């Protein structure tokens, strides 16, 4: 067992290095792999290599693409972990932050900050407003489910879809009422965009992801118990209502912060946990960390495709994840019949 874990860890590290290298190297202006890592190492340890590249190449690698790839990994990991937790929490394989309306709520909060309030709290304004919107959407789903007295998995998804439509409409209203000069940028961001990634901003999604993983991973077995039913969890000494509230707030925080920096990217939270469970089983001790890793790799490569398919223009990454995720989901449905 320990040797298999070590082999898997080594494989994931190799895949991460290759994916980051490809993500930084490939684009409208391709840069050789050797040059990429020479620039990176020189930035970390100056004068290690003789400078054989131009200032433009150095700026593309260090200032543009490298933070973009890191942001893609953070967002992919965050959304995939959120999907895995929500699917176990709701005992619904269709649950993810996009379908349950959490992403729409987060986008609503971010649009409110970007177009109407301004950065009243500095760089934390958009993440905080996005988190508040995600939390509001989560509460709305819980309220609709409670008012309709229907707690089945199907009804929960329907409640989430309804809430998503409401918050999407409210977000569109904010865009309609906003400054026309800024709306094009916001609309592009809503479709999923990593193009504004900057080193000084990465501390926020990185810190939130690290904190949420530190909270969630030790509770993987409790999440397993909750996935088997409230009665089972209660017999094992879990305070179900408090634990469920903690998980909802944590997933809202993860979704809100990731949406604040990347826009609303769909299907990562739905498809990645499905794939992980097909390969590694349903135990969240394995599902959560593997979902984080596969989610990060998935979004790195989705971003590469988005940059290459219409080069030199960037296609919104949400279009790529929507197309690939939708087709993959259809295949899963066909095979499950």
Q: What is the pLDDT of residue 282?
A: 85
Burial of 16 (0-12, 13-18, 19+ CB in 10 A): middle
Q: Which token pair is 273?
A: 């946990």
Contact 302, 321 (CB under 8 A): yes
CA gyration radius for the chain?
20
Of 152-156, 176-180, 203-207, 322-326, minimum mean pLDDT range: 152-156
> Which residues constitute the domain of residue 269?
2-336
Between the two ends of the chain, the Cα-to-Cα distance in Å is 34
Position 154 confidence tier, pLDDT thresholds 50, 70, 90: low
* pLDDT value of residue 240: 81
Phi/psi at 103 (nearest 5 deg)? -65, -40
Total number of domains in the chain: 1
pLDDT attached to residue 140: 87
246-259, pLDDT tens digit by residue?
Answer: 888 888 889 888 88
| Cβ within 8 Å of residue 229, ≥6 positions away | 91
From residue 103, alpha-carbon distances to 167, 246, 314 in Å are 9, 18, 22
Flag whether pLDDT at 233 surpasses 90. Answer: no
pLDDT in tens, 291-316: 999 999 999 999 999 888 877 777 88
> Is the omega angle on the peptide bond into residue 312 within 30 degrees of 0, that is, cis?
yes
72 φ/ψ angles, rounded to the nearest 5 degrees: -60, -45
pLDDT bucket at 76, cuts 50 / 70 / 90: very high
Q: What pLDDT sits at residue 152? A: 58
pLDDT category at 289 given cuts 50, 70, 90 is very high
pLDDT of residue 153: 57
Summarised one tens digit per residue, pLDDT across range 30-64 is 888 888 999 999 888 888 888 888 888 899 999 99
Q: Give the relative orientation of helices 102-112 and 125-147 as an angle to the nearest 10 degrees.
A: 140
CATH no. for residue 12?
Answer: 1.10.3470.10
Q: Which pLDDT band holds residue 113 (cuts at 50, 70, 90)? A: confident
């Amino acid at each position: 067992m320990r040797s298999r874990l070590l082999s898997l860890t080594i494989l994931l590290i190799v895949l991460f290095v290759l994916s980051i290298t490809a993500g930084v190297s490939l684009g409208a202006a391709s840069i050789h792999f050797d040059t990429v890592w020479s620039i990176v190492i020189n930035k970390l340890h100056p004068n290690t290599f003789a400078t054989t590249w131009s200032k433009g190449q150095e700026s593309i690698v260090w200032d543009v693409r490298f933070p973009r790839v890191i942001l893609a990994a953070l967002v992919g990991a965050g959304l995939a972990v959120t999907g895995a937790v929500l699917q176990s929490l709701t005992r619904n394989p269709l649950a993810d932050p996009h379908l349950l309306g959490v992403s729409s709520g987060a986008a609503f909060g971010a649009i409110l900050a970007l177009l109407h309030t301004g950065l009243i709290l500095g760089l934390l304004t958009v993440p905080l407003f996005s988190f508040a919107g995600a939390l509001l959407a989560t509460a709305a789903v819980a309220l609709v489910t409670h008012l309709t007295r229907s707690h089945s998995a199907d009804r929960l998804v329907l409640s989430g879809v309804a809430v998503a439509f409401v918050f999407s409409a409210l977000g569109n209203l904010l865009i309609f009422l906003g400054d026309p000069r800024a709306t094009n940028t916001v609309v592009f961001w809503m479709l999923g965009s990593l193009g504004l990634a900057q080193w000084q901003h990465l501390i926020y999604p990185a810190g939130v992801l690290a904190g949420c993983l530190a909270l969630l991973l030790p509770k993987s077995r409790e999440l397993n118990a909750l996935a088997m039913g409230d009665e089972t969890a209660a017999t094992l000494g879990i305070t179900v209502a408090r634990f469920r509230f903690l998980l909802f707030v944590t997933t809202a925080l993860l979704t809100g912060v990731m949406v604040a920096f990347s826009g609303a990217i769909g299907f990562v939270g739905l498809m990645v946990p499905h794939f992980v469970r097909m390969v590694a089983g349903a135990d969240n001790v394995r599902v959560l960390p593997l979902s984080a890793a596969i989610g990060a790799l998935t979004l790195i490569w989705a971003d590469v495709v988005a940059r290459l398919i219409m080069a030199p223009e960037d296609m919104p990454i949400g279009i790529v994840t929507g197309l690939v995720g939708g087709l993959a989901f259809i295949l899963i449905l066909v095979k499950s019949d």
